[in-house]
Amino acid sequence: MSREHGNGIAAGGATPVRTAPWPEWPVVEEEDVRAVADVVRSGVWGSTEGTVVRDFERAFAEIHGARHGIALNSGTTALHVALTALGVRPGDEVIVPAYTFVATATAALLIGAIPVFADIEADTYNIDAAAVERAITSKTKTIVPVHFAGAIADMERLQQISEKHGLPLLEDAAHAHGAIYDGRSPGTLGAAACFSFQSSKNLTAGEGGLILTDDDAIARRCRSLINTGRASDGAWYEHHLPGGNYRLTEMQGALLRSQMRRLPQQTRRRDANGRYLDEQLSQIKGLRPMRSDPRQELHPRHLYMFRFDADEFGLPREQFLERLKAEGVPASGGYPVGLHQQPLYSGQGLREQIPGPAMPHLLAHDYGAASCPNTERACASEAVWLTQPLLLAERRDMEDIVCAVSKIQASAARTARNVGTAKD
């Protein structure tokens, strides 16, 4: 992430609101370096011989109140393995939100299953339970709610749907490390939850992932699928399932174990800053912070998001983002299109490379027919994302964000008034 901001032209050509750098990510302390160096010196680098990854798995499961943690090499493989362990097979349908990172849906494709896109709620950007119900067919096997930006999806309603139709919920918790919802955390809200430790995430080792579950059988299958199909109590050359080698190294385990000591405090700080921004930004015309769910006690805020109304604010979103950057606050509009509009689904992608047995089903699925107006509006003109390291700053730094947005708003309002006067 760039360390210096504020060298563009600020609103009205004046001095930018902020020139100081934002917090760096990842946070690196001497104890992280020592933890990795100790493993390197030990010469035990693989998790099949060492205990570091195992310790981390236990600790991560414990803070989420889940019985089992299975670490692996990415969030994408976590989703792929967990879907396989849940029994998803070629030709099955898996319901995912249209507003998410591509991996949520690709994980189904990698099995030869068919991702079916459901729209999001207009005011949370999380999967819409009503759209999920509409998308269920006789081929549906699993529903994958994403806790987008760290906001827990409406698990109460989704659990009702899951029970009514006998479909397991797989939580995509890539943004939701340490979240608390109704006294519980991801990993205990569905059949299993998948986390990512890729470099932008709230807990990171550069890459990595982890599956949490309370279910002994799912845990056993996941552990075997990431370890060449071995059984925990079996011999080294005894293989039961068609599993890959998706294991994490002990060096990554050491880094994660060390970084995790800071996770609770960082999560609380992001959430407190996020709540403050919600309060302040909701008072600015044309901005709507995401609706917060009172059932969520702790929101990890992997992203801080708000909805931007160009007409009310008086500027198109792209100009707003440019001006915000010029004021020293980096932000983006997030995904340019919904997943159903990505070339992978709307173009030739699926024809060029798809798993064999699923071919006729996949090609028969009409992605052009997906109706996801909330997703399309969020992508085209409405969503504004600030990344999580900004929320690790102090409360007074949040005031810079509010100040920058207010300044741009005032300048847009002045321009609108002048245009109005010129027309009179």
Ligand X SMILES: Cc1ncc(COP(=O)(O)O)c(C=O)c1O
Site string for ligand X, 318-357 (x = CB under 6 A): ----------------------------------------
One residue of 74, 84, 126, 411 binding ligand X per CB under 6 A: 74
User: If binding is defined by CB under 6 A, does position 385 make contact with ligand X?
Assistant: no
What SS3 state is found at 107? helix
| Continuous H helices in 96-185 | 103-111, 129-135, 155-165
Please identify, among the stretches 96-104, 132-140, 280-288, 335-343, the one whose residues bind ligand X according to the rule CB under 6 A: 96-104
Residue partners of 6: CB distance under 8 A and separation at least 6: 16, 17, 18, 19, 326, 327, 328
**Residue of the chain from 69, 115, 209, 286 that contacts ligand X (CB under 6 A):** 209
Out of 53, 174, 211, 404, the only residue in the binding site for ligand X (CB under 6 A) is 174
- Residues in the interface with ligand X (CB under 6 A) total 14
**Active-site residue list:** 101, 172, 175, 198, 201, 230, 237, 247
CA atoms within 13 A on the CB side of 258: 21
Taking the C-alpha atoms of residue 384 and residue 188, their distance in angstroms, rounded to an integer, is 30
| Structure-block tokens of residue 335 | 């995904």
Nearer residue to ligand X within complex by CB, 304 or 313:
304
C-beta of residue 370 within 8 angstroms of C-beta of residue 376:
no
Strand, coil or helix: 70: strand
The residue (of 111 and 398) whose beta carbon lies closer to ligand X is 111
Residue (198 or 332) nearer to ligand X, CB? 198
- Read off the amino acid at residue 243: G
Our CB check for ligand X shows the closer of 75 and 168 to be 75
Q: Which stretch binds ligand X (CB under 6 A): 26-34, 69-77, 118-126, 232-240?
A: 69-77
Surface-to-core class of residue 4, CB atoms within 10 Å of its CB (0-12 exposed, 13-18 middle, 19+ buried): exposed
CB of 29 to ligand X, least distance (A): 23
Task: Write down the least CB distance from residue 155 to ligand X, Å.
Answer: 16
Q: Which span (98-106, 218-226, 359-367, 368-376) binds ligand X, by CB under 6 A?
A: 98-106
Q: Which of 266, 277, 349, 342 is nearest to 306 (CA)?
A: 277
Q: Does 104 bind ligand X (CB under 6 A)?
A: yes
Asked if 76 interacts with ligand X (CB under 6 A), we say: yes
Q: What is the 3-state secondary structure (H, E, C) of 254-279?
A: HHHHHHHCCHHHHHHHHHHHHHHHHH
Name 386's bridge partners: 304
On whether the CB atoms of residues 224 and 240 are closer than 8 A, the answer is yes
Rounded to the nearest whole angstrom, what is the least distance from the CB of residue 78 to ligand X in the complex? 7
**Site membership for ligand X, residue 103 (CB under 6 A):** yes
- For the bound state, the minimum distance from the C-beta of residue 359 to ligand X, rounded and expressed in Å, comes to 25
Is 213 a residue that touches ligand X (CB under 6 A)? no
Q: Which chain residues interact with ligand X by CB under 6 A? A: 74-76, 100-101, 103-104, 146, 172, 174-175, 196, 198, 209
